[in-house]
Amino acid sequence: MGGTLSYLFENNQFVIEDYDKKKTFSSFLPGIAGVKGIPIWVFYANRGQGVTSFGIRDKDEPILEFFPANTSYQYVDKYGFRSFVRVDGTLYEPFSVALSDDVTRTMRISRGHFTIVEVNRTRGISYEVTYFGITNEPIAGLVRKVKVTNLGKERDIEVVDGIANILPSGATTESYKSMSNLMVSWMNVENVENNIPFYRFRASSGDEAEVSLIEKGHFYFSFVEDHTLIQPIIDSEIIFGYDTSLTVPFGLIEKNVASLDLTSQVTVNRVPCGFTPYAQKVEENASIHINTVIGHTASLNLIEDRFFTDEFIEMQLNAVNTVLDELVDVVDGKSNFELFDAYIKQNFLDNTLRGGYPLVFGKGDSQKVYHIYSRKHGDPERDYNFFTLSPEFYSQGNGNFRDVNQNRRNDVFFVPEAGLFNVKMFMSLIQLDGYNPLSVKGTTFKLDALKAHQLVEQFVTKEKKQMSKLLSSSFTPGSISMGILLSNIELNLPEDDFIDMILEMSEQQIEANFGEGFWSDHWTYNLDLIENYLKVYPEKKIELLHEDSTYRYFDSPVRVLPRSQKYGMTKEGEVRQFGALKEEPHSERFEKTNWVKDHSNRIYETTLAQKLITLVLTKLSSLDPSGFGIEMEANKPGWNDAMNGLPGVFGSGMSETIELIRVIRFLRNHLSKDVLLCEENHRYFENLDDVLNKKMSDFDRWHAFTTAKEIFRSEVEKEISGNEIAVSVEALNAFLQKSETLLLEGVQKAKALNRGILPTYFIHKARDYAVLDYKTPYGLQGVQINAFEMSIVPSFLEAPARSLKIGDTIDNLEQHLLVKKSDLYDEKLKTYKTSVPLDDMSYELGRIRAFTPGWLERESNFLHMTYKYLLGLLKGGLYDVFFEEIKTNLVCFMDPEVYGRSTLENSSFIASSLNPNPKVHGRGFVSRLSGSTAEMLSIWHMMMFGKSLFSYVDTLKFTPKPILNAEFFKDGRVVTQLLSKIEFIIENETGYPTYSEKIDIDYYMVDGQKFERVEGILAEAIRDRMVNQVRMVYKKIA
């Protein structure tokens, strides 16, 4: 057990006493329904009866209206779930804020469900509600499991329990919020006579010529005893009478349950509800159990009698817990800190919700990797993001390039087969100009018509035409599986085998599109995927870089304009960079494929080595006029979205320079063969090499670099020739060395200009320029800039965090000490802030300047960046510093009374002590789906296994080197999971940390056999997950 009296962690649940009086927070159920289930999104808060909204697919298919967090706290106890109890002749509403009785309210949060309990001592009633989703069934549903216990003598108890508003299928969030009065014109409730009301619009509500019928719908059913469905109330007037505010249940005050007239309920032209009335004589300490399921189905025929049993409900509760336990058990561990162990599991779950979990179909070269369970990070606290959970089996959702990329960083450590897929996917999405599409929609499949025909003829025994139709266009495993179910298709082999065969024979298609801009940092996360892949498969370095020639270039309809078309003077006389992008008009070029083609109209494919060199060329030639940062030349900033004004004021980022140095070093260390470059890239390479060989000013070099870049972009704007020219590894290494030297000089100069702390951002002001006689496409008066004046933006944490990955231990320690002495450190909370105060900066910096200090990205503890910094401490060799810092910086070690929510769950940001409201200092906001989970899993993996998992010199070697201090060992042991399936036991009874020079590895035990080293066939057996347990035992050596 851990925590305080009000916040407890016990029995794998986070418990909040008097939850409705604590700091408000918003969270959600996982939206995972198993591989063969339909996910439902469910948001909840610690107010009212918890659930604030739920629905399917996205915010435009709500069942209970979606509200942003701040308004959901106001409305949850009115429009959400409600309960009314009549006992001893009086009616009261459990969980009501207006209730003056002597009550205790508790919330218990588990991974897949949560429970609220109100114990009313005044009336002798305990009211308990548990929520969870339906799992591995063809319907989407939220289960509300109610238990009403009589704590007094035997008496009659009446209960009316349900939900005040249900929006019929067809009502979108936006249409309902803006035109709810009109929307009721389409509202209809059917099937009430069968006690399973079906809520849907009668037809589409759009103002188009084509009108479509609404076939699917939402449903509600309740039962108390097996197979006994209770007639529901769907007309709220029966409960609330004339009180249209839904505050006082005048209908129930005037009539008891037996007297309610349910025969003439209004089923049209009003927002319906769903309530279950029930009355029973209840003995002392006995309970009433009401099971309610509210959800969505493609057809009422999918709702089966077996759903109406207590056994089904209990099986569903066990099922959701089993699915999630099996998912997170890949990081199951036991250290000296129980909360830390549970925290890692929660991080894995939340990381999966944004990055997805990889399933593997097929075998060998035809193997396919398909991620399920992912979605964009949208919720009541992120009301600005539009999330999608596809309502089908094998559900996948949408995401952004940067987010999905980072959240899949560690896939290879859990599902090794996913490592190469992720590298290839995200590197192929890199364009010739070095940018990438924003929106990543998952993947689909396409099957050759002849192969499809053969499969149908051989394996489909009923509804062959329907199966052929499913395979005739792009599909997903979910659409195939759902199609088989809904079309009554019959097979002569198991469905899973059939789908596996289809996918193995299909071509996988990456679904992505431009989105809304080109960020300067997105490419920086690709190297992590590559490096992690090589930690598991170090012997495949040459094959990865040089021998696989199937990497593509994404072809975007949007291009970056040259300086002449985006540099201009505003009406106020300021020189700015606005309107940097131009979208091509509709073209046949993008109708069938989004991949670059050559002159012969063939998709151009190349090696990973060429793609990485392309990145080096495009980013090196984007070095700013001062030689410090990489320019934000394409309308968007870097990692910190709130710095959105920087591109306009010729901003640049040192963080990207650091990452470019990493890519250059990787290539210098691993290139072993000559590399074929497309001829346009080869000319680009030669032009930049020529610039590097000349001595010139920073501005002249910038002008020469940028000119070369603009020429290259104009050459590849439509297509490339397809011709290739070989560049020797010696020439490449010489180029890379000159590039690295130039960049490192800039790093050192910038650091010196900022009193030793590496600056993150730079602004360049046009100091000398000529006004030209034309307007840019954006409408600015064109200018030619002849000189810039650079200024450093006050310090941010990002550049120091990233620089820890490239510095030596001494430099890193020096940088850390300077950071901790600066305003980047919050002395009150002992945490880190995104930046020092920005009060003296212009509002042109971006929306960050308009934010309140200590809030969102401005001077707060933005957890993703803080965790990047902590990971940097590990990568930078500052191990003792790391273990000291996590005591106050890891969420699981924070005080929940201050944090204000479960300390198993991350937040996007924690309000810092700079916020003018002291009540929010240290409090977490914007729940869970954050890049911090990816950083935490990287931290966990490095703690448990060190910087190297496998190495290769003549033979494969298993070479973990855990980084753990003595405090983490319980009885001399830390237990975790290796490659998701192998129990890995670290034994250290020396009292020293594992990184101490006074201890070393004594021996390994692999499935009970002792070895001094693990290499060759034995190392391969571990990597292939053919062993069950590995023990690693330390000994003192000094």
Other beta carbons within 10 angstroms of residue 473's beta carbon come to 10
For range 103-111, the mean pLDDT? 98
Residue 401 vs residues 58, 406, 429, 517, 607: alpha-carbon distances, Å: 19, 9, 9, 12, 21
Split at pLDDT 50, 70, 90, the class of 472 is: very high
b/e string for 441-471 if b means 16 or more Cβ within 10 A?
bbbbbebeeeebeebbeebbeebeebbbebb
For range 1002-1027, the mean pLDDT? 98
Determine, yes or no, domain membership for 379.
no
pLDDT at 590: 66
Determine, yes or no, domain membership for 667.
yes
Determine, yes or no, domain membership for 468.
no
Determine, yes or no, domain membership for 354.
no
Are 843 and 893 in the same domain? Answer: yes
* Pair 89, 299: CB distance under 8 Å: no
Pairing state of beta strands 675-678 and 724-727? antiparallel
Q: Pick from 792, 816, 846: which residue ends a domain?
A: 792
For range 648-661, the mean pLDDT? 99
* % of residues, the chain, pLDDT over 70: 98
Helix axes 477-486, 495-505, angle to 10 degrees: 140
pLDDT in tens, 938-973: 999 999 999 999 999 999 999 999 999 999 999 999
**Helix or strand (DSSP H, E) at 1032:** strand 1029-1036
Q: Is the pLDDT of residue 202 over 90?
A: no
Determine, yes or no, domain membership for 464.
no
pLDDT at 1: 40
Q: Which residues pair with 92 in a beta bridge?
A: 85
Q: Is the pLDDT of residue 382 over 70?
A: yes
pLDDT in tens, 546-589: 999 999 999 999 999 999 999 999 999 999 999 999 998 766 66
Q: Where are the beta strands (DSSP E) in 668-792?
A: 675-678, 724-727, 761-775, 781-792
For range 641-659, the mean pLDDT? 99
Q: What is the CATH number of the domain that holds 319?
A: 2.70.98.40
pLDDT at 210: 53
Q: Is the pLDDT of residue 856 over 70?
A: yes
CA neighbor of 43 nearest in space, from 63, 23, 15: 63
Are 772 and 804 in the same domain? Answer: no
Query: Strand, coil or helix: what is 894?
Result: coil
Are 903 and 1019 in the same domain? Answer: no
Lowest-pLDDT range, 209-213, 257-261, 1001-1005, 1012-1016?
209-213
Q: Pick from 938, 971, 1003: which residue ends a domain?
A: 938
Are 100 and 171 in the same domain? Answer: yes
Pairing state of beta strands 2-3 and 652-653? unpaired
Q: Pick from 792, 819, 837: which residue ends a domain?
A: 792
pLDDT at 383: 87
Q: What is the pTM of this model?
A: 0.97
Determine, yes or no, domain membership for 266.
yes
Residue 140 vs residues 54, 234, 539: alpha-carbon distances, Å: 11, 20, 45
Helix axes 932-945, 338-355, angle to 10 degrees: 130
Split at pLDDT 50, 70, 90, the class of 494 is: very high
Please list the alpha-helical segments (H only) found in 851-947.
863-875, 879-889, 896-899, 932-945
Split at pLDDT 50, 70, 90, the class of 385 is: confident
CA neighbor of 614 nearest in space, from 532, 554, 566, 562: 554
* Pair 433, 718: CB distance under 8 Å: no
Please provide the average confidence, as pLDDT, over all residues in the chain. Answer: 96
Q: Is the pLDDT of residue 750 over 50?
A: yes
Secondary structure (DSSP) of 958-996: E-------GGG-BTTEEEEEETTTEEEEEE--SSS-TT-
Q: Is the pLDDT of residue 1006 over 80?
A: yes
Q: Is the pLDDT of residue 729 over 70?
A: yes
Are 110 and 240 in the same domain? Answer: yes
Determine, yes or no, domain membership for 267.
yes
pLDDT at 714: 97
For range 674-701, the mean pLDDT? 98
Are 787 and 802 in the same domain? Answer: no
pLDDT in tens, 427-439: 999 999 999 999 9
Split at pLDDT 50, 70, 90, the class of 213 is: low
For range 192-216, the mean pLDDT? 75
Cα distance between residue 165 and residue 145, in whole Å: 18
pLDDT at 848: 98
Query: Strand, coil or helix: what is 416?
Result: coil
Determine, yes or no, domain membership for 554.
yes
Secondary structure (DSSP) of 776-823: -TTSPEEEEEEEEEEEEPPPBSHHHHHHTTTS-HHHHHHHHHHHHHST
pLDDT at 225: 82
Tell me the backbone φ, ψ of residue 259, rounded to 5 degrees: -90, -10
Structure token digits, residue 661: 């140095």
Are 868 and 895 in the same domain? Answer: yes
Are 207 and 85 in the same domain? Answer: yes
Give me the residue label for tokens 């109209």.
601
Which residue range(s) make up the domain with 316? 2-326
Are 609 and 646 in the same domain? Answer: yes
Are 819 and 736 in the same domain? Answer: no
pLDDT at 214: 60
Are 731 and 877 in the same domain? Answer: no
Total domains in the fold of the chain: 4
* C-alpha dihedral sign at 889, 890, 895, 901: positive
* Pair 825, 863: CB distance under 8 Å: no
* % of residues, the chain, pLDDT over 90: 95
For range 675-693, the mean pLDDT? 98
Q: Is the pLDDT of residue 4 over 80?
A: no
Secondary structure (DSSP) of 941-956: HHHHH-S-SEEEESEE
* Pair 242, 220: CB distance under 8 Å: no
Split at pLDDT 50, 70, 90, the class of 215 is: confident
Are 964 and 909 in the same domain? Answer: no
